[in-house]
Amino acid sequence: MFRYIFPALLVIASVLSFMYVTNPMYAKVKELQADKLIYEDAVEKSNKLVAEYDALVAKYNAVSPDDMDRLNKLLPDNADNIRLVLEMERLGAKYDMALTNVKFDTDPNAQKSSKSTKTAKDAKPYTEFKVMFTTQSSYESFIQFMGEMEKTLRLVDFKSIDFSSTDTNTKGIMKYNVTITTYYLKS
């Protein structure tokens, strides 16, 4: 009889140890294996991001200092309104044009965006900077001035140009009210 009871107890003990010890451990191992796959995927993605970052840093470092200066002039990281006006004054002086009534308006959309909430998708990485000025010259000189403005490295959009005649004593001289928009990066 002992011959049959002992093996039966061993079978019962084996089943109970499987149910209460081995099976929960096996489930925990499966769970840890699934976590391991998730972590390996995350490590792989982070390695790809690091490689992409390194490639971008290498491209950035490959840009020559002269080209970097030109890029900073094209789209500076601040409004730099003084330098912009000085550049326009220098160009206007070539054609005997003095800039008068110079006014600035930083990002006309800023007031609107503070009142309404914008999503991250709508946010622009740059800010608009509006400059308004008045000048007087002949039509030909004004066209040459505008051609020079187009050739500058600073990104400038002519938004409006209003013109009117001046005194009758000065033939061919027109008064121009100009509105331009330039851009700079948000910091």
Handedness of CA 79, 82, 83, 85 (dihedral sign): positive
In a shared domain, residues 48 and 3: yes
Q: With b meaning 16 or more CB within 10 Å and e meaning fewer, what string describes 27-36?
A: eeeeeeeeee
| Runs of H (alpha helix) within 18-80 | 23-62, 65-74
Q: Please report, rounded to a whole number, the percentage of residues in the chain having pLDDT higher than 70.
A: 87
User: What mean pLDDT do residues 30-50 have?
Assistant: 94
pLDDT tens-digit readout, 74-133: 777 776 778 888 888 888 888 888 888 888 876 555 544 444 555 555 677 788 888 898
Task: Provide the domain limits for residue 85.
Answer: 74-185
Q: What are phi and psi of 124, to 5 degrees?
A: -100, 145
In a shared domain, residues 83 and 130: yes
pLDDT tens-digit readout, 8-39: 888 888 888 888 888 888 889 999 999 999 99
Q: What are phi and psi of 171, to 5 degrees?
A: -75, 135
User: What mean pLDDT do residues 59-63 have?
Assistant: 89
Domain count of the fold of the chain: 2
In a shared domain, residues 11 and 44: yes
Would you say residue 67 lies in a domain? Answer: no
In a shared domain, residues 38 and 80: no
